[in-house]
Amino acid sequence: TTNGRNGVSDSAYAIDTIEIPFGKANPFSTPMRLGGVDFLPDGRCVVCTLSGDVWLVDGLEGEFTSHKWKRIAAGLCQPLGLVVVDNKIVVSGRDQLTRLHDLNGDDEIDFVECITSDFITNPGHDVVTCLDVDDEGNFYFDSSVQGVLKYLPETDTVQVLGSGLRNPNGLGVRGDGGVVLATVQEGSWTPASAIHEPAAGSFHGLGGPREGAGQYGFKMPLCFVPRGIDHSSGGLDFLPADKRLGPLSGKIVGSSFGNCTHYLVLREEINGRSQGGVVPLTGDFLSGAHRIKFNKHDGSFYVAGSSGWQCYFQDVGSLQRVRYTGKPLYIPTNVKTHRNGFIIRYNCRLDPESVRLKNVLCQQWNYLYSAGYGSSELSSRDASQRGHDPVSVSSVHLLPDGKSVFIEIPSLAPVMQFHLFAQFAAKESDASNVFDTD
């Protein structure tokens, strides 16, 4: 049994903590680096750990002060993804997708079923991560060798949705399976952290450009994520439309493994092509945030964390709840790009007096796509120069709905990273940052 701690509730979202059974609290003395999280129909939480354990966590309801942990399975091969489907726990390991069966109802796993092992695993440290499922029961997971994979139970086949992704450790799937997002780690042929949208066998650049893979020889990401926001990306979740989530209802939330933080993901489609950006959210997690899951029982989303390379962690692992407090949060919820600027829509009415040119700052830069490890931030006008280019904003207009602002930029052109800082006022002053890739 471990304690629970409610987070500070003076803002729109509080981060509550379920203490992990470290040290003497864990009779098995196994490392508690969490790799997946989901919920049983009765509301209990299930987590898996990198060392091969699966645990039940009870006591999420009520005061949230005491939680009972029970290990129900052990000996799995580095499970880094977990979902509950039809009241059965499924985990993704470096060897296979595994369904766990409790045959006698004693909350201990009696039979381990291999769903599929028809994929390739890297023999090194970059293996198989994440696990998600769509409304039709198809499974999605990441392979550092093959890319984003989709397993179809109906035909017992594995499809490669997208390849050329460097060490993906994040995945988010819209319920209908129509949009899949994956995050990658900065390194060779990956100039910065990024969110990709694999589909139809797309190639995303790892190993260098390829013929027939589009204008650049690879598919550009939905957006790059600058180092100030993320330097090692984690998982994502398409949150459902549920009023208990507050302003994040129906939104996409991503996580930073490296910075132990999270952010809102904004996505738009233009002529069949997707692009997007991120908006930082407040709050820090105790370890590298890399799995997010909504809990329909309490209307909050939970973040599971681990520790590792380039991670600013306090604890080896963590399990925390992001709970809406009912207090206001003023954030951009939609971006629409035009030839001569952006329309940014907020979730609140804005003070017209604050929608002024002086309250907007824009800059942009590019990255070098190469075999080198990552990239400096380079001028979009002169690739030999490091740094950001200021972008001239001609005008700022509050639109008739009172929630949307048109930011006029006549010189708007395609770049790899665009930073928009807008400081508008609603009922109280609030600054928002949008990091957008056009």
Confidence of residue 412 (pLDDT cuts 50, 70, 90): very high
pLDDT at 347 over 70: yes
Does pLDDT of 303 surpass 60?
yes
Q: What pLDDT is stored for residue 9 in this prediction?
A: 86
- Asked if residue 369 and residue 272 are part of one domain, the reply reads no
Taking residues 28-52, report their average pLDDT: 97
How confident is the model at residue 429, as a pLDDT? 46
Mean pLDDT score, 148-160: 98
Q: What is the pLDDT of residue 384?
A: 96
Judge if 319 and 291 occupy the same domain.
Answer: yes
- DSSP secondary structure letters along 325-373: -S-----EEEEEEETTEEEEEESSPPPGGG--GGGEEEEEEB---SSSB
DSSP class of residue 378 equals B
Tell whether 60 and 105 lie within a shared domain.
yes
User: How many domains, the chain?
Assistant: 2
For residues 212 and 321, give the distance between their C-alpha atoms in angstroms, rounded to a whole number: 44
Q: Looking at residue 108, what is its pLDDT?
A: 97
193 and 165 in a common domain: yes
Q: 54-96: per-residue pLDDT in tens?
A: 999 999 998 899 999 999 999 999 999 999 999 999 999 999 9
pLDDT of 206 higher than 80: yes
Same domain, 280 and 398: no
End position of a domain, from candidates 304, 324, 344? 324
Q: Quick check: 124 pLDDT over 60?
A: yes
Q: Indicate the average pLDDT of the chain.
A: 95
At 122, the pLDDT band (50, 70, 90 cuts) reads: confident
According to the model, what pLDDT value does residue 436 have?
54
pLDDT over threshold 80, residue 137:
yes
Give, rounded to a whole angstrom, the gap between the first and last alpha carbons of the chain.
49
Same domain as 364, residue 278: no
Taking only the tens place, the pLDDT of each residue in 258-299 is 999 999 999 999 999 999 999 999 999 999 999 999 999 999
Rounded to whole angstroms, the Cα distance separating 384 from 235 reads: 34
Q: What is the pLDDT of residues 424-437, one digit of tens each?
A: 998 664 545 655 54
256 and 348, same domain (yes or no): no
In the 8-state DSSP scheme, what is residue 110?
Answer: -
328 to 9, 154, 398: CA distances (angstroms): 12, 45, 21
pTM greater than 0.85 (yes/no): yes
Residue 349 and residue 279 share a domain: no
- Say what the alpha-carbon torsion angle 29, 31, 35, 40 is, to the nearest 10 degrees: 20
Owning domain of residue 397 = 332-436
Check whether residue 250 and residue 386 sit in a common domain.
no
Residues 174 and 250 in one domain: yes
Q: What CATH number has the domain bearing residue 138?
A: 2.120.10.30
Q: Is it the case that residue 438 has pLDDT exceeding 50?
A: no
307-329 per-position pLDDT tens digit: 988 889 999 999 999 999 999 99
Q: Give the pLDDT score at 428.
A: 60
Both tokens assigned to 100: 């766990």
Instruction: State which of 324, 348, 368 marks the end of a domain.
Output: 324
Are 285 and 427 contained in the same domain? no
Domain of residue 342, CATH code? 2.60.40.1220
DSSP one-letter code for 386:
B
Judgement on whether residues 383 and 302 belong to the same structural domain of the protein: no
Quick one: pLDDT band at residue 155, thresholds 50, 70, 90? very high
- The residue among 324, 358, 373 that closes a domain is 324
